[in-house]
Amino acid sequence: MASGFFALLDDIATLMDDVAMMSKVAGKKTAGILGDDLAVNAEKASGFVSDRELPVLWAITKGSFLNKLIILPLAFLLSAFLPAAVTVILVIGGLYLAYEGAEKIYEYFFPHAHPSEAPKLEKMTKEDILGLEKEKIKSAIVTDFILSVEIIIIALGSVVDETLVTKILVVTIIALVATVGVYGIVALIVRMDEYGTKLINYNDRENSFSDKIGHFLVAALPKIIKSLSVIGTLALLLVSGGIFVHNLHFVHELVEHLPIPGIIAEFIVGLIVGIIVLLCIMLFSRIWKAVKK
């Protein structure tokens, strides 16, 4: 009986070692898209009244947990009964990520035309403000759902040859880290200006150490959100390029012998595919508009 108990403990220890090792591998593969997730959600969670930032972020976080509860069982079922579908979904998601990255670059160089006339400001009631807040929360949760699908599928693709138990544990860990880690960092980012203001008002002395730190935090917030947007765009193209290189044999053969580092090759692949998808969508959009007229 004792020997059986210790054998069970040994099996559990071995399983945990495998899970820890595979979680590191999956974490590295999802790091890029986690960076984009962080950038997107930091942008969406900012811009609210100070005392509403954390409640809004908590509402988005709860939505993110619900997204994971929906996606995880479906992903495990596909992995168990239709594993080929994981690769197909991965590539489709890669096309979306490449398009999003290329579209952000296009928008930077060719920004959409905006009306020159300033919008008329109307006095908004409390119900109007809460309604607008709910719309932004809903938009953030939908975006989180799309990114969550990619994070989970990428993590699942990194443990596709492992046992079902290992798959479940590894992908669940990555999903939890994606939610708790990302939204925890977002909470710190969106409250930077609040912390900075408190430090500025900490004492009445001019140009004190707390004043300097406070002013730095207040000034740094918009720059951090902007830099996260740039990093997120690069991450989108890197992640999508990596998906194509590692899951499409002909793409892997094309870049295998290129005299450039693998990470640059993946970025170029993601950018090229993104431009192609963007052009196709723009062409389809123009044709659709012409047909509607």
More confident residue, 220 or 15: 220
What residues contact residue 34 under an 8 Å CB cut-off, 6+ apart?
Answer: 151, 178, 181, 182
What would the mean pLDDT of 66-88 be, rounded to a whole number?
Answer: 83
CA distance linking residue 259 with residue 266, whole number of Å: 13
> Is residue 143 domain-resident?
yes
Top mean pLDDT of 25-29, 130-134, 265-269 is at 265-269
Q: What pTM does this model have?
A: 0.68
DSSP 8-state assignment for residue 48: S
Please count the other Cβ atoms lying within 10 Å of the Cβ belonging to residue 243: 30
CA distance linking residue 177 with residue 20, whole number of Å: 13
CA distance linking residue 8 with residue 10, whole number of Å: 5
What would the mean pLDDT of 247-267 be, rounded to a whole number?
Answer: 83
What would the mean pLDDT of 173-193 be, rounded to a whole number?
Answer: 79
Phi/psi class of residue 261: alpha, beta or left (left: φ > 0; alpha: ψ in -120 to 50)?
beta
The confidence score (pLDDT) of residue 269 equals 92
CA distance linking residue 24 with residue 94, whole number of Å: 21
Residue 26 has pLDDT above 70, yes or no: no
> Is residue 65 domain-resident?
yes
Which SS3 state, helix, strand or coil, does residue 205 take? coil
247: nearest Cα among 178, 168, 156, 185: 156
What residues contact residue 14 under an 8 Å CB cut-off, 6+ apart?
Answer: none
The beta strand positions in 120-254, using DSSP E, are: none
Please count the other Cβ atoms lying within 10 Å of the Cβ belonging to residue 269: 25
Per residue in 190-223, pLDDT tens? 777 777 887 888 777 777 777 788 888 888 877 8
> Is residue 197 domain-resident?
no
pLDDT band at 153 (very low <50, low <70, confident <90, very high): confident
The confidence score (pLDDT) of residue 280 equals 93
Domain enclosing residue 107, as ranges: 14-115+123-191+229-292
CA distance linking residue 74 with residue 71, whole number of Å: 5
The confidence score (pLDDT) of residue 164 equals 72
> Is residue 5 domain-resident?
no
The confidence score (pLDDT) of residue 284 equals 92
| Tokens 């002909």, residue located | 250
> Is residue 175 domain-resident?
yes
CA angle at 165 for the pair 163 and 166, rounded to the nearest 5°: 65
More confident residue, 164 or 55: 55
CB 59 within 8 Å of CB 203: no
CA distance linking residue 277 with residue 99, whole number of Å: 6
> Is residue 218 domain-resident?
no
CB 160 within 8 Å of CB 83: yes
Average model confidence (pLDDT) across the chain? 75
> Is residue 207 domain-resident?
no
Q: Give the up-direction half-sphere exposure of residue 59: CA atoms within 13 A in the CB hemisphere.
A: 17
Per the structure, the count of domains in the chain is 1
> Is residue 81 domain-resident?
yes
